Amino acid sequence: MILFQIWATISGIILLLLMIKTIRFNFAIESLKDVLIDEENNRTSLQKNSQALQKSAKTKNSHSPSSWPKISFIVPACNEEQTIKAAAESLLDIDYPNLEIVIVNDRSTDNTGKIADRFAERDSRLKVLHITELPEGWLGKVHALDRGISMTKSEWILLADADIHFNSDAIKKAITYCQNKKIDFLTAVPDIKSKSSSLQILIAQLFHQASLFFSPKRLNDPKQKTCYGQGAFMLLNRAMYDRSEGMQWLRMEVIDDTGLAVMMRRAGARMGAVAGKDEIQLEWYPDVAAYFKGVEKNAFAFCQYNWLILFGLGLTNWLFVLGFSLAPVFSGNSLIQGFCAFSLLGYLGAIYFQMKKLLDLRFWQVCMFPIAVLILPVIFVRAATLSVINKGIYWRGTFYSLVELKRNQRMKLANLVFSIDEDPNEEENDKRKAATKYAMEKENPYEEDSQLFALASYQGSTDKLRHC
């Protein structure tokens, strides 16, 4: 009896702490749809709820550039014939005057390449790069991104999925936000569309769990280790990317979006994360079965291909959910039962308002989140079991050996809760800290005299940042 009372009480306290964390996140994250573009006066501001805050924002925010910087939009596509047509039409409808679109046809065996070529013939802004072979030691998507980036010379690089859809002025809002906030790396949480309510619950629950591990306010502070990357939308400053390790560093990294965020943060990038609701739409998977298949690639990698970590995370999930659902029933204490019910209701309410900002989710779907938390370890164990049985993963028609994936994994568990590790080399770590201090002393990192990456200035303009 006492054990159940302690278990339920601890779970209730954790629920309250998570509620507070979620509320703080809700107030901190900004929405891309609220970015205002005043092209007539060549000024921009961020829409605020009150007139006083709006006036303050206009005073604080900087002017937009006299001309929009060039953006290269890199879109890897492998066997996407069902979605590439709608995606290409959406991309070409984007209202941005200096846009280059590169669709990288990554060894597709269907009509993806032919459909992309037809669009390229109609519009000079769109180019198609056909890849027929995958070099040894590379993941297909990472290699496609590397090839796409290498053929462009733009000031900004935008990486996104092939089946993503944009509102016409979404890119203008994104680049405006970067200019105003002096951001080198911007990621957006897409508005997930799905015909399956169950699938929406599973994906939304993952988004919520991710939000518990980073603070949007801390992202734009280069002194912080916090970093976050959402693969559906990542906008990079070319100058900062060129001074990072590059895609070669991530060539066999399964969780490439978080890896890219870590890589950019290691380079000293200022970062930002926004809600893309009503501006950036994506149907991640068509159904739950496809979601299970998609998770096969990332699940075991998230646990560093380690069964102890996997079972530890799964056990934590189950103990937490059962602690506020089953334990109060057997506690025999009405006060504890009421406390857990209050904490759970408050937490679910905070999640609901968070989802209103990120996704279109009904309250009854939010109430299903605890069930999704219980299901998640089962999905992960299934994916890990298949990886071990197959001695690797099959993805997009290519087999990747588990031995090679382990050997070349960059992401550690600390990275996967959206924070960078200190370099084990003390000298390199001291150099990075000095570079960060140098960057913080710069008034405007976009001015020409400060375009050089801080570490290059610290070590010498010909040096490159190197990490093991």
Mind listing the pLDDT tens digit for each residue in 203-256?
999 899 989 888 888 887 777 778 888 888 999 999 999 999 999 999 999 999
CA 456 to chain centre: 27
Structural domains of the chain, count: 3
Sign of CA dihedral 238, 226, 21, 292: positive
Regarding predicted confidence, which is higher, 446 or 16?
A: 16
Say whether 287 sits in a helix, a strand or coil.
coil
- Supply angle C-alpha 148, 139, 104, rounded to 5: 25
> Is residue 240 in a domain?
yes
Say whether 442 sits in a helix, a strand or coil.
coil
Regarding predicted confidence, which is higher, 208 or 412?
A: 208
Contacts of 282 (CB under 8 A, 6+ apart): 161, 163, 164, 165, 190, 191, 192, 193, 232
- Same domain, yes or no, for 102 and 69? yes
Say whether 229 sits in a helix, a strand or coil.
coil
Contacts of 407 (CB under 8 A, 6+ apart): 252
Terminus-to-terminus CA distance in the chain, angstroms?
Answer: 52
> Is residue 46 in a domain?
yes
CATH number for the domain spanning 281: value is: 3.90.550.10
- Same domain, yes or no, for 261 and 327? no
pLDDT at 72: 96
Number of alpha carbons in the 13 Å side-chain half-sphere of residue 404 = 14
Structural domain boundaries, residue 131: 28-288
> Is residue 468 in a domain?
no
- Same domain, yes or no, for 322 and 175? no
> Is residue 466 in a domain?
no
pLDDT at 454: 36
What residue has token string 């066997």?
Answer: 79
> Is residue 19 in a domain?
no
Regarding predicted confidence, which is higher, 134 or 440?
A: 134
Last residue of a domain, one of 288, 310, 325: 288
Contacts of 130 (CB under 8 A, 6+ apart): 105, 113
Say whether 164 sits in a helix, a strand or coil.
strand
- Same domain, yes or no, for 366 and 412? yes
**How far apart are the C-alpha atoms of 145 and 160, rounded to whole Å?**
10
- Residue 296 binned pLDDT confidence (cut-offs 50, 70, 90): confident
* pTM listed for this prediction: 0.81
- Same domain, yes or no, for 93 and 190? yes
- Same domain, yes or no, for 327 and 261? no
- Same domain, yes or no, for 280 and 342? no
Last residue of a domain, one of 288, 323, 338: 288
Position 170, amino acid: A
Strand stretches in 161-308, DSSP E: 164-166, 185-189, 191-192, 233-237, 271-275, 280-282
Strand-pair partners of 38: 43
Last residue of a domain, one of 288, 321, 346: 288
> Is residue 15 in a domain?
no
Regarding predicted confidence, which is higher, 192 or 46?
A: 192
- Same domain, yes or no, for 251 and 315? no
Angle between helices 197-211 and 334-358 (to 10 degrees): 100
Cβ atoms of 396 and 78 closer than 8 Å: yes
Regarding predicted confidence, which is higher, 41 or 3?
A: 3
- Same domain, yes or no, for 338 and 436? no
Regarding predicted confidence, which is higher, 132 or 424?
A: 132
- Same domain, yes or no, for 254 and 312? no
> Is residue 293 in a domain?
no
| Residue 413 reports pLDDT greater than 70 | no
- Same domain, yes or no, for 357 and 397? yes
> Is residue 6 in a domain?
no
Cβ atoms of 25 and 351 closer than 8 Å: no
- Same domain, yes or no, for 173 and 86? yes
